[in-house]
Amino acid sequence: MAATGRLIAVEGGEGAGKSTQAARLAATLGAELSREPGGTPLGEEVRRLLLDPAFAPLGDRTELMLMLAARAEHLAERIEPALAAGRSVVVDRFQGSTLAYQGYGRGLPLEEVRLACRLAAGGREADLNVLIDVPVDIGTSRRTAAPDRIEAADGGFHERVRQGFLAEAVGDPARWLVVDGSAPPDQVADAIAAGVRSRLDLGTARLS
Ligand code: T5A
């Protein structure tokens, strides 16, 4: 068992397959599974508010602060205690989504968003970010329900989000693993499992 658990974030645009793959990865590694915004009772309530189309339009800074309030609670109540106890956590979205959506997508200054993220997370970053990359039209075509407030943004927004994720991955290759999300789910899962094991030097070990 690792002395300290690992934090692995699964990232990507709408419909990339994050929820599917985060659940599979957590099961493969024996890690806890959580999501953002959400992961705690307060966080799930904030998520409901954030995604509710009734609150459109919402100020960009309001959106950022709500995302980060949910993260601060998630870290304090769930993630940090798990990591400290040697349990690893796979989280469906984390800081990469804040940079991609509120920074690149909404257009808030990136350095301000980074600073706000550091403040909310007490400097905690994911040990590895897995970016499941799919073209925006493929992600959109997988939608099965009415779009939520953020999904309903225009295609230009979602393209900026995608390019933002890719820019972050290129800028910090040691912390990002990019996987082609347009492949079939089993193939995506195999690529993620192999990449995570090699990046985190895990061999065939489970994480907790
Ligand atoms: N957000 C979040 C911010 O703006 N800032 C932040 O800081 C944070 C943390 C959260 C929203 O909040 C925003 C981003 C989001 O807009 P969400 O539910 O996490 O919302 O994100 P969504 O992208 O809306 O989630 P989805 O459920 O739509 O997409 P997923 O999780 O990427 O995809 P998944 O796994 O649910 O799959 C969607 C469908 O595609 C199929 C699945 O079976 C399912 O039907 N599928 C595939 N089909 C073909 N090939 C594959 N490889 C497939 N993988 C899955």
Question: 63-90 pLDDT, tens per residue?
Answer: 999 999 999 999 999 999 999 999 999 9
35, 105 contact by CB (below 8 A): no
Q: Under DSSP, is residue 90 helix (H, G, I), strand (E, B) or coil?
A: strand
Question: 159-181 pLDDT, tens per residue?
Answer: 999 999 999 999 999 999 999 99
Ligand 1 atom closest to Cα of 36? 9
- Structural tokens at position 13: 């645009």
Ligand 1 atom closest to Cα of 183? 52
Query: Which residue's CA is the nearest one to ligand 1's atom 22?
Result: 14
Fill in the DSSP letter of residue 91.
Answer: E
Tell me the average pLDDT across 44-72.
98
Q: To 10 degrees, the CA torsion angle through 175, 99, 18, 181?
A: -70
11 alpha carbon – ligand 1 mean position (Å): 9
pTM: 0.97
Question: 103-161 pLDDT, tens per residue?
Answer: 999 999 999 999 999 999 999 999 999 999 999 999 999 999 999 999 999 999 999 99
In whole angstroms, what is the distance from residue 89 CA to residue 32 CA? 5
Closest CA to 92 of 23, 45, 159, 152: 23
- Structural tokens at position 98: 């804040």
Could you tell me the sign of the dihedral formed by the alpha carbons of 40, 84, 94, 103, in that order? positive
Residue ranges around ligand 1 (CB below 6 Å): 12, 14-20, 36-37, 67, 92-93, 97-98, 101-102, 142, 144, 150-151, 181, 184-185, 188
- Structural tokens at position 120: 């909310």
Q: Which residue has the tokens 């990865």?
A: 25
